[in-house]
Structures are given as structure tokens and as C-alpha cells.
Amino acid sequence: MPRPRLHFHLTNETLNELKTFIIACYSQRPPDTRTARRAQIIRDLHQGWSVKSLSKSYRRSVRSIRQWLAAYRRTGLKGLMGKPRPGVHLTEAQIWQLIHLHSKRPKKIPQRPVQRFSFGRRHYRRSPWSYPRLAQWAARKWGIKVSPKRLAQIIQRRFRPPSQN
């Protein structure tokens, strides 16, 4: 048996508040697109769109849309905001310090021939600071536990060698 059509109505004041909230989400740096999308879905429900058509156009499940609507009805705009994601949150200064360490020779390693790899004509020195070693250093220095794989993702996202043209 099909579900009855969802009747959802917002006052003009609430609708204006929702529009302002959407703009504020996109204005943040970095923009909070997840929360903004959820607010747009709530606005579209007010405009008469069905949950099924919204799930197709936004590529989200019907269940998710219904959960966001329930959260909005319970707690308002606060219900649309995502929960904090787990993980390590390094500051910009910490990231750049790790990049700096990754690009230089550690003091306790015996000197050995420099390994090089190249992109085109430029040669780059291969760092003896491995990602596991950087993770251990960050744990000792700042008390932050971060996996070597995550450190590699962070550093490679910030520092990419020039691509071949």
C-alpha cells in the first residue's frame, strides 16, 4: 500500500530563516554542503515535492530524507547539522611542520647516499622521514595519535610534486 502524500508547511518567517541558513552554510570556509543540502531538501518538501522525487533528484535514500525531516521537526535547524566526524584534527601549523620534517633529514639517522626520484627534469630528494616515523614523532611531540596512512593523505594533499606536462 503506498504511503500517503506528506503534508509539510513552513511559515514565511521559518522559510526566510531556512534560506538564510542555506546561504550561511555555503558561505563558510570550507562550505558545509551536507547541511545546506539537507536544508534545501526541507525547503523543497515545503514547496510540495514528494519524498520519492527528492530522493531521486538529490540521490539520497527515502529513509535519509525522512530522518532529516523528523530531526528538523524535533529540533529545528540544529537537527540538520551533521554530527562531528571522528578523526585527528591537526592545525595548519602542525601540518606544515610535518611537511617540513618530511622534506628534511632527521638528526638521528646515519648519513647515507641521497635517494632521488624525478618528475621530468627536476630531481627531488626522497625523505628518510617515513610516515610511520612521522606518526611516532607527532605522538611524542603533540600527543596526537594519527595513522601513517592518514598522515600520507594529509601531506600528499598539501604537497604535490609538479605533474608532467
Q: Flag the least confident range among 85-89, 131-135, 147-151.
A: 85-89
DSSP 144: -
User: Which among 28, 31, 156, 146 has a CA at the least distance from the CA of 90?
Assistant: 146
Q: What is the pTM of this model?
A: 0.54
| Predicted confidence (pLDDT) at residue 86 exceeds the cutoff of 90 | no
Higher pLDDT, 22 or 114: 22
Q: What is the DSSP letter of 113?
A: P
User: How high is the pLDDT of residue 54?
Assistant: 93
Residues 138/150, Cβ–Cβ less than 8 Å: no
Complete DSSP assignment for 34-90: HHHHHHHHHHHHHTT--HHHHHHHHT--HHHHHHHHHHHHHHGGGGGSPPPPPS---
pLDDT at position 109? 46
